[in-house]
Structure 1
Amino acid sequence: MSFDEKREDLYHKALILEEKKGEDSSFNKEFFDLVSDVVIYLMKGENSFFGSFMLKIKRKLSFSLTYPLGTIPFKGEYVMYFNPVLFLQCTKKEMGALFKHEIYHIMFSHYEREKELRNSFSKEAVNVALDVAINQFIKDLPMDAMRLDRAEKEYNVELKEDMPVEYYAKEIDKKIRKREKKEKKDVRSDEAKRSFDINTAHDVWESLDISSELSESIKDKTLNGIESEQAPESIKELIKNRGEAEVPWQSVLKKLIPSIEKGYKKTITRRDRRQSERLDLRGRLRDRIPEIIVAIDISGSISKDEFRKILVEVMNIADTRRAKVKIIECDNKIRRVYDIKSINEIKDRYDSLGSTAFSPVFEYIAENKLFNRPIIYFTDGVGEKSLSVKVNKKNIIWVLTGEDELSLEDGPYVIKKLSYEKKEKIDGAEGIRMYKEVMQDRNSTCL
């Protein structure tokens, strides 16, 4: 049976399954065997980058999608959902082009950008802009795909080629706002369900609650081992820039530091709640003091010199945020926990006795209800495969000190390599300015 004959046969089976709203394991196997044929087709020649990328993507069915495909990052990997009724209407070349379409969305970080753009432009404008921006690079897309020329006709707008997503969103949004409002049907017809709906094409992304750091971590994990020589130039440039523009752990930590409430402080800017007529009584504001937890693997992966350098860098960051720092030294169990307020209070590294285990640190954090603190864990990465307690992954930065990968398989996590920030030279005038700012800040906290 030829590819097209298999596709036609599966299409009729998909229509029956959709009507019955049931599941059929034999259909699933046949369908994903067909998908594998398309991936193998992509592996050949100039499309091998996309084929290799598809090998690392998990696949599932979803008849509720209004577009043939939808991909999301989930539990440390990408999951691609297929609406078989829509997907099986496409030729093999069109299927391959749709895979490229999804991978372009991933490589250009459209999950994160979609959320940002929705703050300024309508959902419809953003959906169209995201597709127009990448579909210019892709041949053989289905007729229903949103191309530049189609967007120009539908929205009566002139659009330039090869422009940023923001440009397309802005131009299309202007036209949408001027357009007469049309009545929308509450229920889509069966005929509509069997055609592409660009306005809801990216609805599968709406449930995502993932930081940009975690999303980038999944992307790095997926790209690992994939040869980029056969990738299009635009993607080659992205991959090259990723290697050059790695965000250091210091920058991630600075962004992660929250404000932790610690009682109240008196203030003259707010009246006393109970006696608001008394102007002589000071009111109260919540006192927020950031706190950082630094866990360090002392099983031998970090030397004593590195140990001190790490803590000095953390303290420099903590000082700029007026944050407290809690140190946890651990190998296969916690050896020492202490708080430090200055570099002078850093202790020599505890002499290690055991191997590496990550769970003791997180058990301690759970027992002491410290999960809302940012946690930065320095280790060579070689420990257990899963933690013994549930953790808030968004608050954890893993900094790997060697060449090994993180052994934990229950990600995704934010993972960085150990590096030290370069210290900028400060001339006399700059030093005086910084000193004045520090003294001014200290004086203001004493009021």
Structure 2
Amino acid sequence: MRILIIGAGGFVGRHLLARLMDGNDTVIAAGRNPDRLRRLFPDMPTMECDLGRDTATDWRPRLAGIDTVINLAGLIRDGAGGFDAVHEQGAKALFDACLAAGVRRVIQFSALGADETGSSRYHHSKKAADDHLAALDPTGHRMDWAILRPSLIIGHGGASTELFLALAAAPLPLRLGSGTWRVQPIHVDDVIDVIVRLLHRSEPFARRLDLTGPVPMTTDGITLALRNWLSLRPAPFLPLPRALLMLGAVLGDRFGLGPASRDSLAMLAAGNVGDDGPMRDILGRPARALSAALARHPAVAADRWRARLLLLATPLRLLLAAIWIWTGVVSLGLYPVADSYALLAPLGLTGMSAGMALYTGAALDLALGLALLCRWRPVAVGTIQLALMAGYTILISLYLPDLWLHPFGAITKNLAVVGATLAMMAMEAENG
């Protein structure tokens, strides 16, 4: 069987590729960044595609000889109309091309709540594509189809998992809203098991299938399960007010920060539970309880480090940005210019050359701080900042060595800033 997986570089896609790579099927990994896919799975054929741009005409030649298409592409926020372009219009074009090309089976990855009850833009866009696929061949006689609607998926590399891990790893675990929002989490291993069962099913199939864990859980219950998985001591919850959560979601939508968005918050608050009976019939068993599924992948020290650092990545970058912005502003005139010139004199800079050095340095500090604030290439910006700090430190050591003895540690504190910058660069490189 020749299987094309679209969105193969995402959370579920990576787990599915890992499961299929040693099988007898030919698997083609498709996504917007085929170079990244080749790095992840060097022995697997890749294909470049973009659901937000590609038409049915673009898809038809790519689908020649393909038996099964799995659409895992999805966005967590609707920047620039992405939900409509990727979830709805792009998926519809793909499904039309599949039918025209004679693809035997299509598996569409949707979301629990993508039905008449869904209230978010995310749900509406997924439902529109689901309905279109189901209407192409309602009985599945010409083209089998399955629309999978998972609840919250837990597993390594998932954005929602990282959010709950960050809540769980805080010194006091953080409570989302009231802590009683109900979801029915399913581990990614069980999701992959369902997909694999459908891939090799011989009977015709044409239906929507909810993917849920065996029992509903509260958001507090998920946080506690992950805290136990991390082997952290029990502690009382620290509530996060709804207004603070909404602020975080708005900032997440505006600046693309982390997994929080207004749609994801609304979906959690509305509840995310379903009937796991039909899924049990396909899987031949219930999905594993969350604690049991997590125990199959024991946490290690790196998991605890990552969970603890998740909530610190953005504040660290913003604090470093504030240092550089403030340094630039101070140098531009808040600090007496005459005193700045006096500091530059031992370097042989006086008159016009001193002014050029002062204002050029201030402008550079300000520009680098603003670049960090906007998260523009933070790793490259951090590298420039380290080079500048090294240059400043060398010049000060040669011409103003007394500053090393300043009681406020004006220069020695740069060592801590260097460490913080290196940590920021490591976290931003991972998140980029």
TM-score category by the smaller chain? under 0.3
Which of the pair is proportionally richer in helix?
A: 2
* TM-score for both structures, normalised by structure 1: 0.22
* TM-score for both structures, normalised by structure 2: 0.23
